C-alpha cells in the first residue's frame, strides 16, 4: 500500500477516515476514450463516493482550441471550481472510474493553478467499490467558495517548447501511450494523425506505473520502470500522451519519487501528430 500523501496520492482507507472532515472535497474526474463506451456523468449519477462533485474534463477546458480538453483560461477554471464548492483551504481528493487514469490530469491541473493540497485516490472507484465502501446517488449540497489561482506556467509546455527540447536534448521526454503507438506500429485513435513519437522521447506506458489492481506502484518500483525505459531523470522532464490525460500519470509518479522539475505537453500527440512541420520518429528511438 502506498504511503498516504495529501499532495499526491491517498488510499481508500485514508479517504474513508477523512471523508467527513469539513475541509475535504472529493471530485469525480472520470473520463473515457470513445472506444470505452462509458458515460462518466451517467455513472456518477448512478453512484458516487459520498459528497463527491463531478469534474467535467471536457467542459472545464479551453473551448477556443480545436484540441481536446486543453487547459482552461484561469477565469474559467476559477468560476467552474467555485461552482463546485471547491476553494481556498480545501483538501481535494480526485478519483476516476477506471482506477487511476483521468484523475491524475485533474490533480495536475489543480497543481498547475497553484493548489498544492490535492491528491489522487489510489485505485479510484473500482477499489472503493471492491472494498464495499458506501456510495450515494444524491447530489451534494454546494456552497460557493473562492479559490485563489497562481498559475505555475513552468508546469505546462506547448508545441514550440517541446520541439526545441526534442532538438536540443536538454529535457527528458516521456510518452505515456502504449508501446505499439509509440513505435508507430498501431494506428492512432484520432483520425488524421501520423503514427510514431516525438524524436528523442522514451516510452513509459502509464499502465507500467500501476499495479494489477489499478493502484500506483511504490516509489522503488516506479524508479525501476523509469530506469528500464532509459529515462534520464537528471534532466527536467516533459510528459506527453495522446491528448494530455494519461501523461499526468507520469507526472504523478515523478512527484511520488521526489522528482519535481516536470511539465506536461498539453497538446500531446493530438497536436504533434497533426502538425505538419514537426518530425516524427518510429521504432524504439
- Among 29, 52, 216, 241, the one annotated catalytic: 241
User: Quick one: which H or E segment has residue 251?
Assistant: helix 247-256
Provide the 10 A C-beta neighbour count for residue 46.
10
Residue 164 annotated as catalytic? no
Provide the 10 A C-beta neighbour count for residue 8.
22
Task: Give the CA distances from residue 126 to residues 12, 47, 49, 248, 257, in Å, rounded to whole numbers and listed in that order.
Answer: 10, 12, 11, 20, 25
Distance CA 133, CA 232 (A): 41
Q: In what order do the strands lie in the sheet with 262-265?
A: 156-157, 262-265, 237-240, 172-175, 202-203
Show the cell assigned to 98: 477506471
Distance CA 95, CA 256 (A): 17
Hey, which residues does 238 pair with through a beta bridge? Answer: 173, 263
Distance CA 194, CA 262 (A): 26
Q: Does the CA dihedral 125-131-133-136 come out positive or negative?
A: positive
- State the catalytic residues: 241
Amino acid at each position: 500500500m502506498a504511503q498516504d500523501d495529501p499532495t499526491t496520492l491517498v488510499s481508500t482507507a485514508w479517504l474513508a477516515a477523512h471523508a467527513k472532515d469539513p475541509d475535504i472535497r472529493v471530485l469525480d474526474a472520470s473520463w473515457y476514450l470513445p472506444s470505452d463506451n462509458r458515460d462518466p456523468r451517467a455513472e456518477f449519477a448512478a453512484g458516487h463516493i459520498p459528497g463527491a462533485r463531478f469534474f467535467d474534463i471536457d467542459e472545464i477546458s479551453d473551448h477556443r482550441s480545436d484540441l481536446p480538453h486543453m487547459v482552461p483560461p484561469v477565469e474559467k477554471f476559477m468560476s467552474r471550481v467555485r461552482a463546485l464548492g471547491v476553494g481556498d483551504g480545501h483538501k481535494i481528493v480526485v478519483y476516476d472510474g477506471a482506477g487511476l487514469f483521468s484523475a491524475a490530469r485533474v490533480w495536475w491541473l489543480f497543481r498547475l493553478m497553484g493548489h498544492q493540497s490535492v491528491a489522487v485516490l489510489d485505485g479510484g472507484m473500482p477499489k472503493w467499490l471492491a472494498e464495499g465502501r458506501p456510495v450515494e446517488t444524491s447530489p451534494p449540497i454546494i456552497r460557493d467558495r473562492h479559490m485563489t489561482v497562481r498559475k505555475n506556467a513552468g508546469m505546462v509546455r506547448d508545441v514550440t517548447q517541446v520541439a526545441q527540447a526534442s532538438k536540443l536534448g536538454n529535457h527528458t521526454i516521456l510518452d505515456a501511450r502504449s508501446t505499439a503507438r509509440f513505435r508507430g506500429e498501431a494506428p492512432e485513435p484520432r483520425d488524421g494523425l501520423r503514427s510514431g513519437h516525438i524524436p528523442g522521447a522514451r516510452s513509459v506506458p502509464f499502465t507500467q506505473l500501476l499495479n494489477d489492481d489499478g493502484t500506483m506502484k511504490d516509489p522503488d518500483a516506479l524508479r525501476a520502470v523509469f530506469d528500464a525505459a532509459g529515462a534520464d531523470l537528471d534532466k527536467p522532464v516533459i510528459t506527453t500522451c495522446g491528448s494530455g490525460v494519461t501523461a499526468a500519470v507520469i507526472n504523478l509518479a515523478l512527484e511520488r519519487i521526489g522528482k519535481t522539475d516536470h511539465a506536461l505537453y498539453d497538446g500531446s500527440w493530438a497536436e504533434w501528430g497533426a502538425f505538419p512541420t514537426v518530425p516524427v520518429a518510429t521504432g524504439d528511438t
